[in-house]
Structure 1
Amino acid sequence: MEIVLQPLSVSEFPIIMDAVNAQDRDFMYLWAGSTYTYPLTIEQMEQHYGKGVHSIEAGVFLYKIVDRETQRMIGSVQIGRIDPIRKEAVVGRFLIHSEHHRGQGIGEKVLRGLARIGFEELDLERILLNVYHINARAIRCYEKVGFCKTYSKKKLYQALNGEYWDGIEMTLEKQAWMAAK
């Protein structure tokens, strides 16, 4: 499947809200950490993005993941917490809406697209992301793109089943990305 990243508008928040709320609290935590309270609401999203989107001043760029053939939105992702002094940002809120679209290499394509945006358009030197140790499929995807584990924090979240999840920070350096390109 060929995908394209397009700016996501605030009017499309309900699509994300519905995709997240179709799952449980643990899923939402995998997607957004402690940012929101389950169930997700438009008000929570609007408050979180109160400074706006799609600008360095807002510190975040939101994208919808679009199937080029059907022009349908199949997911969303952001690059945010942009620090122009340290020249770094964080990938987050990465969501492929349907299980049907997972496991097809879409995540890898999305991350390569975000890396290009981050390194070539935003002039970043590193891109970070956070993932939980139980999300092995996502970790494999991130490693394929070149992200390396740089930090781990034990027992960051307790799931509904009582299991504790460890948080892992992963980093992609511009130099390594350019060399692999």
Structure 2
Amino acid sequence: MMIKLELLSETDFSQIVEWVNQYPEDFLVQWAGTTYEYPLTIEQMKGHYSNGHNSVESAVFIYKIMDDNRFIGSFQLGRLNWVTKEAIVGRFLIGEEINRGRGIGRIALNELVKIGFNQFNLETIKLNVYEFNRQAIKCYESIGFRKSLYQEKMYQNSNGFWWNNFEMTLRKEDWLV
């Protein structure tokens, strides 16, 4: 396993759309909040990133997760605030089920955190995760993220169940320990 990150281009949107749409509508919300409508389309993604991506001006960088030169997932470091030196990790996806639970997400997230703290000189990186996603929470905690805010009833899924959310925070000084 040789995990590395590469900047994602618009031509990669089709793969993300394919991965996300293989799951029910609630998965789209788990992955991206209420930003998009199900089913996800390339046009929705292009519209969302109409101000661009992978530039300081756009304040969002989208990365492909690569394993031995195979595109297996993606995530973004967005809402970069150059004044407060904060950003948010979002849209974290390991595309195929076979690649989940193998530690790929932990390796990739650690690389993203390294980029955030070292390349972008951030002081704080945050992310949001629904409470039921215990595997993801365990991954985030293994990097050093800590639960910092709990929000009840953030989303009511298609079966009528409410999803609660954790905001998790990693400060550069804690990551370096």
Q: Which category describes the TM-score, using the shorter chain as reference length?
A: over 0.9
Partner of 1:34: 34
Structure 2 residue runs of 5 or longer lacking an equivalent are: none
Q: Distance in 2 between matches of 1:55 and 1:14?
A: 21
Per the TM alignment, residue 163 of structure 1 is displaced from its structure 2 partner at its CA by: 1.1
User: Once superposed, which parts of structure 1, at least 4 consecutive aligned residues long, lie more than 6 Å away?
Assistant: none
Cα distance in 1 for residues equivalent to 2:19 and 2:28: 10
Q: Aligned residue pairs: how many?
A: 177
Give the deviation of 1:160 after TM superposition. Answer: 1.6
Please say if 1:72 is aligned against 2:70.
yes
SS at match of 1:37: coil
Q: Which residue of the partner structure matches residue 16 of structure 1?
A: 16
Structure 1 unaligned blocks of 5 or more: none
1:77-96 matches, within 5 Å, as 77-96=75-94
Matches within 5 A, 1:42-61: 42-61=42-61
What does the per-residue CA deviation read over 1:101-150, in whole Å, with 9 as the maximum and x for residues that have no partner?
Answer: 00000111011001100000000000000000010100000000000000
* Residue identity opposite 2:130 in structure 1: Y
Letter in 2 for 1:65: I
Give the residue type in structure 2 aligned to 1:26: D
Distance 1:137 1:162 in 2: 23
Tell me the CA shift for residue 178 of structure 1: 1.1
The yes-or-no answer on 1:97 pairing with 2:81 is: no
Distance in 2, Cα, partners of 1:84 & 1:57: 10
**Cα distance in 1 between the residues matched to 2:52 and 2:65:** 20
